[in-house]
Amino acid sequence: MNSKKALITGITGQDGSYLSRLLLEKGYEVIGLTRGLSESSTKNLQYLVIDSQIQLDVCDLTDLSNVLHVIQKYQPNEVYNLAAQSSVGKSFEQPIGTISFNIVSVLNILESIKIIDKNIKFYQASTSEMYGKVEDLPINEESRIHPLSPYAVSKASAHWITVNYRESYGIKAWSGILFNHESYLRTKNYFVKKVITNSIEIANNKRKTLKVGNIDIKRDFGYSPDYVNAIWLMLQQNNPDDFVVCSGKSISLREIIEYVFNKFSIPMSKLELDYNLYRPTDIQDIYGDNSKSKQKLGWSYNKSFNEVLDLLIEEELKNYI
C-alpha cells in the first residue's frame, strides 16, 4: 500500500512542526512549503529531530502559477494550510500585507485543487480571533463572526472562502477554528512564552521586570501537540465541515503570570504594566465549546492550563542556557 502524501504550508511554525511529527509517525510522506530554505527557518523541525525526514520546497503562495506547479508536482492526498501572517499586533502595523497574504494564499491553493484534483483534502487553519466581539459564550461553530483586527478580518475572509469552495465546487475543505494553543516552539513575541522566558531571566538576575499590556483579559489556552491531532482527525472524515478546537475554559493573563511567578518565587512587584502594549481593541473574555470536535472527531483533550504551564516551564528550563 502506498503511504499517504501530505503537503504542509507554514511547516516551520509551531503547528506545522508538531503536525509533521504526527504525520511521520503515521507513515505519511511529508512535503513542506516554505518561503525560503535557511538554517534558522527549519530550527523547529531540527528541534523535533524530523528535519531529515521532510522534503522542503520553496513556494510563493501569493503566485497562482507557483502553487499550481507545486500541487501538480507532488500530487498530495492532503493539504494543510498553516501559513499566515499570524500576529494580531503586527497586523495593525501591516494591515495590507497581512490581509493580502492571508486571503490570496488560501484562494490560490483552493483554486489549484479545483483545477488539478478535487479529491485532494484541504485543511484551513482558522482562528477564534475571527469571532471578536461575542455576546454569548462559549463560542461554537455557529457563533457570529465579528473580527476586531486586520488579522482577524483576513482569517474570517479565508474561512468563508474555504466554505465557499466547499459549497460551490464540492472541494473537500475543512476549517479548524483553533483557540490559543502553546508549546515550547512558540516564538518569544507570544504572551505565554514571553512570561516564562522573562521569568527565568528575572529568577537568574538577567532581567529586572516583566513588561506586559492588559492582563485582565481572559483567553482559552491549550497545548499545540494535542491540537494538531484534531487537525489530522478532521481530514480523516468523509464529510467536510468546520470544527472548534479549544480547551473549553478561559484563564486570565494575570492568573498565568501569578502561577509562573509563584513557580520561580518572583514577587508581583516585578510586574510592569506598559500601556504601549495595549491593543486598540481587546476582547474581555473568550472561550470555546469543543463538544462537536469531541463527538464527531473522537478528539479528547483534558489538560488544565496549569498542567500545560508546567510542561512549558519544564521544557524551557531544560533548554535554558
pLDDT tens string, the chain, 321 residues long: the values are 468 999 999 999 999 999 999 999 999 999 999 987 776 689 999 999 999 999 999 999 999 999 999 999 999 999 999 999 878 878 899 999 999 999 999 999 999 999 999 999 999 999 999 999 888 999 999 999 999 999 999 999 999 999 999 999 999 999 999 999 999 999 998 999 999 999 999 999 999 999 999 999 999 999 999 999 999 999 999 999 999 999 999 999 999 999 999 999 999 999 999 988 877 767 789 999 999 999 999 999 999 999 999 999 999 999 997
Contact at 8 Å (CB) between 153 and 220? no
For position 263, which CATH number holds? 3.90.25.10
Q: Is 151 a catalytic residue?
A: yes
Please give the Cα distance from 300 to 183 (Å, whole number). Answer: 18
Quick one: CA dihedral 139, 145, 148, 153, positive or negative? positive
Q: Which grid cell sits at 297?
A: 472527531
Residues 195 and 267 occupy one common structural domain: yes
Cβ burial of 108 (10 Å; 0-12, 13-18, 19+) is: buried
**What's the confidence (pLDDT) of residue 90?**
85
Confidence (pTM)? 0.95
Please indicate, yes or no, whether residues 238 and 265 belong to a single structural domain of this protein. Answer: no
Q: CB neighbours (10 Å) of residue 222?
A: 25
User: Are the beta carbons of 230 and 299 closer than 8 angstroms?
Assistant: yes
Is 53 a domain residue? yes
CA 122 to chain centre: 16
295 located within any domain: no
The answer to whether residues 120 and 169 belong to one domain is: yes
Considering the domain architecture, whether residues 130 and 226 belong to the same structural domain is answered as: yes
Residue 55 falls within a domain, yes or no? yes
- Tell whether 144 and 281 lie within a shared domain: no
What lies within 8 Å, CB to CB, of 35 at 6+ separation is 41, 58, 59, 60
Determine the pLDDT at residue 39: 63
Q: Which of 127, 165, 184, 223 is catalytic?
A: 127
Query: What sections of 172-223 are H helices per DSSP?
Result: 191-203
31 C-beta neighbours (distance < 10 Å), count = 20
144 and 162 inside one domain: yes
The residue annotated as part of the active site, out of 12, 42, 123, 129, is 129
The answer to the question of residue 134 being in a domain is: yes
Q: What is the length of the chain?
A: 321
For the question of residue 165 being annotated catalytic, the response is: no
The question of whether 129 is a catalytic residue gets the answer: yes
Q: What is the CATH number of the domain that holds 17?
A: 3.40.50.720
Statement to judge: residues 108 and 226 lie in one domain: yes
Count structural domains, the chain.
Answer: 2
Integer Cα distance of 18 and 39 in angstroms = 18
Distance CA 237, CA 259 (A): 39
- For residues 111 and 142, membership in a common domain is answered with yes
Does residue 275 sit within a domain? yes
- CA–CA gap between residue 263 and residue 293 (Å, rounded): 33
Instruction: Kindly state whether residues 136 and 149 are assigned to the same domain.
Output: yes
Q: Where are the beta strands (DSSP E) in the chain?
A: 5-9, 29-34, 55-58, 78-81, 121-127, 173-178, 181-182, 210-212, 218-219, 222-223, 242-245, 251-252, 271-273
Q: Are residues 122 and 202 in the same domain?
A: no
The answer to whether residues 136 and 44 belong to one domain is yes
Q: Which domain holds residue 80?
A: 5-181+222-245
193 in a structural domain = yes
Alpha carbon 223 to chain centroid, angstroms: 10
Residues 45 and 156 in one domain: yes
Per the domain annotation, does 293 fall within a domain?
Answer: no
74 in a domain, yes or no?
yes
In the set 80, 123, 151, 223, the catalytic residue is 151
